[in-house]
Amino acid sequence: MTGRGAEPDVELLVESARDAIEAAETSDDIRAVATAVSGKRSPLALAHRSLGACSPEERKQRGQLLNQARSEIEGLLERRRAQIEAVESRAAMEADRADLSELVPGTVVTAPGRGHLSLVTRTRDALEDVFVGMGFEVAEGPEIETDWYNFGALNIPPAHPARGMWDTFYLDLDPPESTLLRTHTSPVQIRLMEGAQAAGRLPIHAVMPGRCYRRDTPDARHLAVFHQVEGLVVDEGITFADLAGTIEVFTAAYFGADIHARLRPAYFPFTEPSAEFEITCTICRGAGCRTCSQTGWIELGGCGMVDPAVFAAVGIDTERWSGFAFGFGIDRCAQMRHQIADMRVLTENDIRFIRQF
């Protein structure tokens, strides 16, 4: 075999590859043609492999020719592949096109599913309605608070042992532990009293719902991000009987007459005397279950008479004014109202749970 003699067969090889490539119509065709004309078993590959038998001089010349042939074939393949792809993607888009002008007679068009407010939001709204019906106004405050509003003004100075009652998320700001995610809605009491005192707008009858945060491990009755509603009354001649009566009226209005409330002595730095406010567990109706830790009662929150130290922090005259405050969990209310054994479902977004409300 001479170098010269090799040329016509390489040309032939390119010609027959060109014919096969041009005949390809679909991407399947072009894939098969690519294997046939440039794959491992193609005449081109075989020709390459046979170079080993040639003399060094011949090998160099023929090798060059074969490399040129390969790049020409690859170029042809590439061009044809692009053409086929363009045609096929245009056809796919055409097939996908929705003809919106056509109305098929007798077709029932179903509306897409509509969402609704979350159970917690609806519970908050329902609680607000109950309290507005009892003569309370609704107020709000920030979720990011200073140490003063969340603790200091509530008679919980730095290093006070009662701070342990609220495991706190602090913001990474200077000075350390000066700014935090509020652990309860009680700081809104302070903001409200400060504002009312400054503007001469006492008395106050208000509820303050909102989101709170605690470094708690979620369990059947707790979430680290949860909601509270705070209540505050500051007026002349307010007594503990007003507080107890308010809680009783609220419980009957929201949970129904068969659910009982009780107050148990407790301690909060910002109220004196203080009480914990519990209702009959609605899961077991008082018999004892896992949700209420076998006690038959569920703690909704705390309450008490506003401590004189708190009035002093906001400059309210205790000779004239007295008041009570309460704060309880909105998520806990939703749980008890709808007999939800484990509160964590409120944040899990399981559509089977959500659809029930």
**Residue 269 corresponds to which tokens in the numbers above?**
């730095």
Where do contacts with ligand PHE occur on this chain (CB under 6 A)?
184, 186, 230, 268, 271, 274, 301-304, 325-327
Nearer to ligand PHE, 34 or 303 (CB): 303
Compute CA distances 211 → 103, 144, 193, 195, whole Å: 49, 10, 20, 21
Nearest approach, Cβ of residue 266 and ligand PHE (Å): 8
Q: Strand pairing of 297-306 and 322-329?
A: antiparallel
Pairwise CA distance, residues 181 & 238, whole Å: 31
CB 329, min distance to ligand PHE, A: 8
Least distance from C-beta 256 to ligand PHE, angstroms? 24
Nearest distance in Å: CB 201, ligand PHE = 21
As given in the structure block, the two tokens for residue 172 are 């990474």
Beta carbons within 10 angstroms of residue 41's beta carbon: 9
| Helix, strand and coil in the chain, % to nearest 5 | 45, 20, 35
The residue among 38 and 166 lying less far from ligand PHE, judged by its C-beta, is 166
For residue 282, the Cα-to-chain-centroid distance in whole angstroms is: 28
Shortest distance, CB of residue 353 to ligand PHE, whole angstroms?
26
Nearest residue (CB) to ligand PHE, 17 versus 336: 336
Q: Which is nearer to ligand PHE, 155 or 274 (CB)?
A: 274
Token digits for 44? 């081109």
Q: Which residues make Cβ contacts (< 8 Å) with residue 259, sequence separation at least 6?
A: 251, 252, 279, 280, 282, 336
Length, in residues, of the chain: 357
Both structure tokens of 228: 């509270």
Q: Which is nearer to ligand PHE, 31 or 163 (CB)?
A: 163
Closest CB to ligand PHE among residues 38, 189: 189
In the complex, minimum distance from the CB of residue 158 to ligand PHE, in angstroms, rounded to a whole number: 18
